[in-house]
């Protein structure tokens, strides 16, 4: 099964085998196509390079690309192929004689070794080298891990050596991180043993992608900006309720030194030699879930189109793309792509029970336009979520060989009703050639008059911002703040953080806060259990439901199949 497209592979070859059969160009040649000379590169072998941040100013006078966002319907366990579509669309542009660069997040090794598999795309629309992307790449994930844990170590060291700042131990929220799925580390007791082993307290581990340091990496505009953001991280409060920052602990400088190379975007290529920027991988539940600002500030001047993706559905990553990322970058998208599949809409019909890693029910594979029609409200709402931000949407139908045209026609009917373009794309099986129709639809949409706009103004109260997102994007009737959440909002406003944008942490499996509610739920309210502050990243995040920030492994994780063969080649990676 292909984790990106969620079906039996559309070719007999695995993604890894397809990647190895591709003819890649030296990465300096790919950079040259973008107008980036070798003086701005720091190569990691023949096919991977970092781009120096000086490229941002060096490319500033070049034309600005059309900026395209790729998002999707509410995710289902088998995936809708958003990354594959992003890469296929970039390749499709080249088949039409246009130049394009793709920008995607770096996969976390936790999911790669877990149930999801790699995040480089799939089939004939993937970024390469396959192994490099999914296994360490240039070490950015490890730099984030080390920087985050350096601060954690300095927090506990400060407590051990007398706690001069007067930190309330019970207020410390800065945990540790690891890029491994390990449920046993979600909650731990630290400082056990003799007195010299530290202060005993409760803590835990999150996955590296959930670190605020990762969110900071993705939102920083320069090395100087990243250094300042790291200093603003709040790890807890004093007994008299003053925030304690990484700067107060004199840890931010060391963290910045660890991160000084990680902030440089990574350049790779697709199987068809189209440029791909792979940089940062913030969690899509409790962070903004988008690739880096610096990658976009470079990529926006490297061709006619810059195509980027946002995590999860248009209610999650896309909303944050507009209201968090674009506020920082200053870039405005020209069009958006909403990826859907027939089977995703059948899932949102509520007629089928599906689970990650399990075969699809036979009933989902039979021709059933009615099933698609019952699930179509989810697609409608996600298209509306782009429209409310002022950009022109395009519906991309990620095709599978066992789909039926009658099912596509239901989706085309919706597109006609909503006045948006729609294209069936076979990029997984055919690469860029299969995405040509989608590419043309995106070109046409990007030329439509549109004015990108934010959903809310920053001078609105945090409660008003949360309520606006809940009503306008999720379709809720309003919000219900717990007493704890209301108290936190008052506290953050008093501390001067009320003007920050909002990141709502909720399930990605539903437009609502209940993962079991499919389609486009109505007559519900968003319960806000808790509100936390990411002062370094620069947003407040409202927690609505239980959020797992450290995944666990399944009974048979992908790691069981990954190995090295007698010739030293990686096997079992997908």
Q: What percent of the chain has pLDDT over 70?
A: 97
**Mean pLDDT lowest for which of 114-128, 255-269, 388-402?**
114-128
pLDDT-derived band at 559, boundaries 50, 70, 90: confident
For the range 46-49, what are the long-range contacts, defined as Cβ-Cβ under 8 Å and sequence gap of 24 or more? Answer: 47/128, 47/129, 47/132, 47/268, 47/269, 48/129, 48/132, 48/137, 48/138, 48/266, 48/267, 48/268, 49/266, 49/267
Q: What percent of the chain has pLDDT over 90?
A: 82
Query: Is 496's pLDDT higher than 70?
Result: yes
What's the whole-number average pLDDT of the chain?
Answer: 94
Token digits of residue 574: 């997908």
Question: pLDDT tens-digit profile of 256-265?
Answer: 999 999 999 9
- Hey, which residues does 69 pair with through a beta bridge? 308, 336
Query: Is 129's pLDDT higher than 90?
Result: yes
Query: Is 535's pLDDT higher than 80?
Result: yes
**Bigger pLDDT: 286 vs 103:** 103
Query: What domains does the chain contain, in order, with CATH numbers?
Result: 15-138+262-446 (3.40.50.300), 140-259 (3.30.1510.10), 462-543 (3.10.410.10)
Query: Is 11's pLDDT higher than 70?
Result: no
Exposed, middle or buried, 195 (CB in 10 Å: 0-12/13-18/19+)? exposed
Token digits of residue 400: 């599978």
By the 8 A CB rule, do 218 and 280 touch? yes
Half-sphere exposure of 214 (CA within 13 A, CB side): 32
Query: Is 4's pLDDT higher than 60?
Result: no
**Mean pLDDT, range 241-249, rounded to an integer:** 97
pLDDT-derived band at 557, boundaries 50, 70, 90: confident
Residue 570's pLDDT is 85
**Mean pLDDT, range 282-296, rounded to an integer:** 92
Query: Is 546's pLDDT higher than 90?
Result: no
Q: Which DSSP symbol is given to 318?
A: I
Token digits of residue 323: 């209201």
Phi then psi for 336, rounded to 5 degrees?
-135, 150
Query: What element of type H or E holds 121?
Result: strand 121-122
By the 8 A CB rule, do 166 and 301 touch? no
Site of tokens 């439901």: 545
Query: Is 78's pLDDT higher than 80?
Result: no
For 141-166, letters b (16+ CB in 10 Å) and e give: bbbbbbbbbbbbebbbebbeeeeeee
pLDDT-derived band at 562, boundaries 50, 70, 90: confident
Query: Is 85's pLDDT higher than 90?
Result: yes
Residue 6's pLDDT is 39
**Coil, strand or helix at 276:** strand
Token digits of residue 470: 């809940």
273: alpha, beta or left, given left = phi > 0 and alpha = psi -120 to 50? left
Task: In whole angstroms, give the CA distance from residue 255 to residue 262.
Answer: 11
Residue 9's pLDDT is 40
Residue 357's pLDDT is 67
Angle between helices 140-160 and 212-219 in degrees, nearest 10: 130
Token digits of residue 259: 């991160």
Residue 1's pLDDT is 34
By the 8 A CB rule, do 301 and 437 touch? no
Task: In whole angstroms, give the CA distance from residue 481 to residue 486.
Answer: 6
Phi then psi for 563, rounded to 5 degrees?
-160, -175
pLDDT-derived band at 361, boundaries 50, 70, 90: confident
**Mean pLDDT, range 126-133, rounded to an integer:** 93
Residue 431's pLDDT is 97
**Mean pLDDT, range 531-537, rounded to an integer:** 96
**Bigger pLDDT: 17 vs 332:** 332
Task: In whole angstroms, give the CA distance from residue 301 to residue 280.
Answer: 20
Q: Where are the beta strands (DSSP E) in 454-500?
A: 479-481
Query: Is 527's pLDDT higher than 70?
Result: yes
Question: pLDDT tens-digit profile of 149-204?
Answer: 999 999 999 999 999 999 999 999 999 999 999 999 999 999 999 999 999 999 99
Beta strand 526-528 pairing with 563-564? unpaired
**Mean pLDDT, range 385-389, rounded to an integer:** 98
- Hey, which residues does 72 pair with through a beta bridge? 339
């Amino acid at each position: 099964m292909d984790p990106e497209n969620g079906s039996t592979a559309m070719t007999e070859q695995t993604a890894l085998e397809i990647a190895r059969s591709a003819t890649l160009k030296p990465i300096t040649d790919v950079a040259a196509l973008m107008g980036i000379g070798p003086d701005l590169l720091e190569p990691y072998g023949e096919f991977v390079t970092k781009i120096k941040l000086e490229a941002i100013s060096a490319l500033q006078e070049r034309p600005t690309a059309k900026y395209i966002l790729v998002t999707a319907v509410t995710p289902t366990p088998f995936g809708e192929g958003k990354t594959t579509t992003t890469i296929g669309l970039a390749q499709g542009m080249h088949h039409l004689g246009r130049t394009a660069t793709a920008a995607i997040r770096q996969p976390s090794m936790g999911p790669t070794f877990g149930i999801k598999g790699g995040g480089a795309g799939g089939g004939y629309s993937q970024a390469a080298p396959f192994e490099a992307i999914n296994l360490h790449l240039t070490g950015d994930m490890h730099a984030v891990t080390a920087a985050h844990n350096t601060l954690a170590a300095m927090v506990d060291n400060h407590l051990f050596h007398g706690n001069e700042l007067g930190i309330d131990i019970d207020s410390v929220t800065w945990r540790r991180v690891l890029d491994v799925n390990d449920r046993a580390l979600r909650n731990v007791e630290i400082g056990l043993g003799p007195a010299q082993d530290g202060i005993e307290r409760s803590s835990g581990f999150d996955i590296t992608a959930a670190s605020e340091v990762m969110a900071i990496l993705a939102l920083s505009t320069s090395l100087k900006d990243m250094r300042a953001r790291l200093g603003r991280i709040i790890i807890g409060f004093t007994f008299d309720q003053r925030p304690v920052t990484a700067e107060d602990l004199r840890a931010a400088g060391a963290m910045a030194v660890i991160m000084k190379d990680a902030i440089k975007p990574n350049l790779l290529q697709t199987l068809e030699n189209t440029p791909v920027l792979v940089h940062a991988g913030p969690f899509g539940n409790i962070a903004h879930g988008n690739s880096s600002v610096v990658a976009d500030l470079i990529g926006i001047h490297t061709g006619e189109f810059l195509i980027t993706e946002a995590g999860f559905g248009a209610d999650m990553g896309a909303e944050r793309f507009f209201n968090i990322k674009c506020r920082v970058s200053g870039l405005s998208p020209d069009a958006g792509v909403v990826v859907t599949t027939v089977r995703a809409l059948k899932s949102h019909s509520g007629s089928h029970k599906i689970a990650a890693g399990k075969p699809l029910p036979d009933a989902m594979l039979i021709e059933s336009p009615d099933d698609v029609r019952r699930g179509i409200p989810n697609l409608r709402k996600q298209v509306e979520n782009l429209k409310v931000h002022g950009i022109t949407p395009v519906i991309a139908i990620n095709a599978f060989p066992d789909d039926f045209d009658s099912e596509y026609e239901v989706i085309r009917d919706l597109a006609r009703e909503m006045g948006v373009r729609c294209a069936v794309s076979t990029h997984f099986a055919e690469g860029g050639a299969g995405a040509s129709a989608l590419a043309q639809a995106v070109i046409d949409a990007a030329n439509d008059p549109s004015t990108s706009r934010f959903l809310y103004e920053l001078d609105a109260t945090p409660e008003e911002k949360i309520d606006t997102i809940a009503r306008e994007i999720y379709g809720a009737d309003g919000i219900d703040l717990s007493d704890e959440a209301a108290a936190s909002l008052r506290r953050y406003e008093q501390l001067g953080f009320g003007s920050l944008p909002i990141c709502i942490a909720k399930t990605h499996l539903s437009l609502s806060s209940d993962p079991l509610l499919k389609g486009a739920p109505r007559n519900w309210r968003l319960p806000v259990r808790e509100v936390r502050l990411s002062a370094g990243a620069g947003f407040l995040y409202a927690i609505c439901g239980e959020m797992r920030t450290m995944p666990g492994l399944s009974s048979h994780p992908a790691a069981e199949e990954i190995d090295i063969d007698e010739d030293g080649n990686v096997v079992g990676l997908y």
